[in-house]
A and B are shown apart, each in its own frame.
Chain A
Amino acid sequence: MNEQTERAPKVALSHLFWWFMFAQGGGLAALVLPVHILVQGVLGPLGIVVAVDRHYDTWISILGNPIVKLYLLVLIALPFFHFAHRLRYLLVDLGVPAAKGVPAQVIFYGGAVAVTLFAVWVLLTTAPISLG
């Protein structure tokens, strides 16, 4: 047995991470995003139901809850890692070879990281954390 075959197989941690984020983001968007759009984007604005974000006092008090902040962070940030991959490959499929390159990867996945950081900042600065 030579030196090369004795080496332990390398775990592709980077691939593991990005595929995990892609799958979880896609799954989360599939399970919970439609009802948010339906209630907060259609039924609430049409006045068919009173959605939680219709009135300032209700919305700001809900936004102060740390569990709600964590939920909103996951809801908003995680799907963007899925979107980044899908949109990059959409460009590849449309015949844009540059979308395969490292600069495109930095733009798309970096964009997902930027949205995550922006979401963290928004959720931490919008309403003071309150358990009440």
Chain B
Amino acid sequence: MSAEADSTAHVATRVYKPPMGAGWWTRKRHYFLYMVREFTALPMALWLLWFLIEIQRAGGGVKTYRPGASTAFVIFSVICLLFALYHSVTFLSLAGVIIRIKALDRPVPPRAIVVTMFGLWLVASIVIGAVLIGFGR
């Protein structure tokens, strides 16, 4: 290989790395909300881990079982709930972009898919809420 060809091959493998600081997401509201959406995973994961531990503690018998009841736990749950709701709204709103289905050989409009997903969320919440409360009596 000639020196020129070697130089061209070297240039072709270079990757452009845009200079972007760690705080890029604080510059615009849209970027910030994107990062909040990504961050929602952390509080939801923490709450589910707590839930799993609570299930495990039930295995220790009635003496060791203490369901969360403190003010700190309620505050923690409220914070997790806000992030979970934000995850639900952003995730289900994207359903119209992600899901592509046909009905009667015609593509279903994205808006109809989003409305259906939000309707499904409402129905699932009512049913599961009724079960969680109904079996608690």
Contact = CB atoms under 8 A, between A and B. Distances in A.
Interface string B87-124: 11001100000100000000000000000000011001
A86 B58 contact: no
A83 B65 CA distance: 28
Ranked 4 nearest A-B pairs via Cβ: A41-B77, A95-B22, A126-B59, A86-B41
Most B C-beta atoms less than 10 A away, residue of A35, A51, A55, A57: A35
A56 interface: yes
Interface of A: 23, 26-27, 29-42, 44-46, 49-60, 62-63, 72, 75-76, 79-80, 82-83, 86-87, 89-90, 93-95, 115, 118-119, 122-123, 125-127
Contacts, number: 164
Interface of B: 20-22, 25, 35, 38-42, 44-45, 47-49, 51-52, 54-56, 58-59, 61-62, 65, 67-70, 73-74, 76-78, 80-81, 84-85, 87-88, 91-92, 98, 120-121, 124-125, 128-129, 131-133, 135-137
Contact of A72 (B41, B55, B124): B55
Given A54-B136, A80-B48, A86 B38 contact: yes
